[in-house]
Amino acid sequence: MVPGEAGIEKRDSCWSQINNSDFDVVIIGGGISGASLFARMAAEGYKTLLIDKGDFGSATSQASGMMIWGGLLYLKSLDFRTVFTLCRDRDTLISQCPSRIRSQYYYYFPLKGGWQFTPLVKGGLDFYRLLGGVRRGRNYIEKNPGEKNLLRSERFRNPLAYEEGMLNFSDCRFVVDLIRQYDSDNAIPLNHLEFNKANYSGTDKRWHMELTDCFAHRTASITSRLVINATGPYCDHVNRIVGIRTPYKHVFSKGVYLTFRRPDSHVHPLIFEMGYNSDVQTFVPWGPVSLWGPTETSVDALDEEITPTAEDVSFLLEQANRNLRHSYEKKDIISFRAGVRALAVPDSYHAHHYPLELSRHYRIYLEKEKNWIAVYGGKFTSGSTLASLVMKKVARVLEPATRPGVAPQELTETQENFMFPGLEAAFPSPEHCSDHEYCLTVDDYLRRRTNISQWSARNGLGRDNENQAAVLEIIKRLPQRPGLVPETALEQYISTTDRLFANLMDQ
């Protein structure tokens, strides 16, 4: 069988289906916001197309700390509305997605000698639980945490235990599975698909769009009654391409995590007070690794590729060695996670604030004369709130759908397990991911359908490229991009990895 044959046949069928078709809604951007809107539009019965120039669940949606939390840090700025909304959305996700999100106690460590003495912190956490409707477990002081041997205990008091949510597998896997649940004849998702042109016609009240398949190098033309720009940090850029002006814009905060080998005693997410800017550092167990971070750095300009810098790495290592007992060095780093938080502000905003001082609220703009909706801001946890806010805007320009809505599908297909050198976990095979999960490239597979590139050193290649043969075997089992042989695809993957790690590790 040709690698990825079933998946390519489905993609070809979808391509034929969309070409010269008219949609109710086109959603640009396949991250958590786009996926949440895709699910809602499909459930409402609208004929919907979801597109992303890269892979689903990439960019910012693949760079979280795996925590589904209710916005505890915004309690310090008295932003009760944000805390209430995020707590509600957190609890909705936990109840609706029990196989993908679990309840999890976190340990919050107050500094010794600081103003955050234990009764005050516990009072704040109790108020946080109250704002969340008392739906999480009781808070308590953990007098003998199992992770005590991991930290410099002379810096901290006994931790406060409080309950949040935690992703079971990964953030990008969550996004892909949400899209898959609503994939149907009238709700079509296509990744690695870019729009080249988009013009609105006042005559037929339609957007006329030209699309390019970045994988198979072909074009298609479609029309749509409504377009939703859910491209996250790239929202302003996409608006400019089509000539849309809004009263909002994004400012950016870059967040970077390092991953280290997980100590055996590391079970709970650990939250450490930094002692300034009301900020924290976290140490989060994730499979065989532990995430340390994040940074919270204002970014003036958004590059096409979001990558950490040598300064990010140095800062995180310094903070890790300040708080954790083990002395970490660059050689201990397994992988990096880097993304930007897109924070919505008025278009006239020119001040400079520490990112945590800005709200994570959505701002939804409707250009009614052209049936264009732009989504600003937001957070991984708050997809359901976004869908409700956008639906209010949709109702102003589209009548209710006459088609029956799509019910979420159970993802029950049998999958073949795949083992990767040096990792004990079993992953879905490359064939399964290409046939059922829109997986087209080696980066799609190693980074977003599995956690291999995050759990194995140097994007899965190994510290000395010892896994090179295993990565080549994966490439051969995935769909073959026209004009690109597997050996060349491997060379490109190695080159990208070498460039990233050389820039960060050799300085």
| In the chain, domain spans | 5-60+172-247+350-394, 67-169+250-345, 417-505
Q: Give residue 116's pLDDT band: very low, low, confident or very high (50, 70, 90).
A: low
3-class SS of residue 335: strand
* Per-residue pLDDT tens over the stretch 290-339: 999 999 888 877 765 678 889 999 999 999 999 999 999 999 999 999 99
Q: Quick one: 10 exposed, middle or buried, by C-beta within 10 A (0-12, 13-18, 19+)?
A: middle
- What pLDDT, on a 0 to 100 scale, did the predictor assign at position 459? 96
Give the CATH fold of the 5-60+172-247+350-394 domain.
FAD/NAD(P)-binding domain (3.50.50)
3-class SS of residue 206: strand
Q: Give residue 59's pLDDT band: very low, low, confident or very high (50, 70, 90).
A: confident
More confident residue, 163 or 72: 163
- What pLDDT, on a 0 to 100 scale, did the predictor assign at position 163? 97
pTM of the model: 0.95
- What pLDDT, on a 0 to 100 scale, did the predictor assign at position 56? 97
Residue 147 has pLDDT above 80, yes or no: yes
Pairing type for strands 206-213 and 193-201 reads: antiparallel
Name the average pLDDT for the chain. 91
Query: Does the domain formed by 67-169+250-345 have CATH 3.30.9.10?
Result: yes
The DSSP-derived string for 39-101 is: HHHHHHT--EEEE-SS-TT-GGGG-S-SEE---GGGGTTT-HHHHHHHHHHHHHHHHH-TTTE
Across 264-282, average pLDDT: 85
- What pLDDT, on a 0 to 100 scale, did the predictor assign at position 388? 93
Residue 351 has pLDDT above 80, yes or no: no
- Please answer whether residues 360 and 74 qualify as being in contact, where contact means their C-beta atoms are separated by less than 8 angstroms: yes
Residue 352 has pLDDT above 70, yes or no: no
The full length of the chain comes to: 507
Q: Give residue 115's pLDDT band: very low, low, confident or very high (50, 70, 90).
A: low
More confident residue, 507 or 134: 134
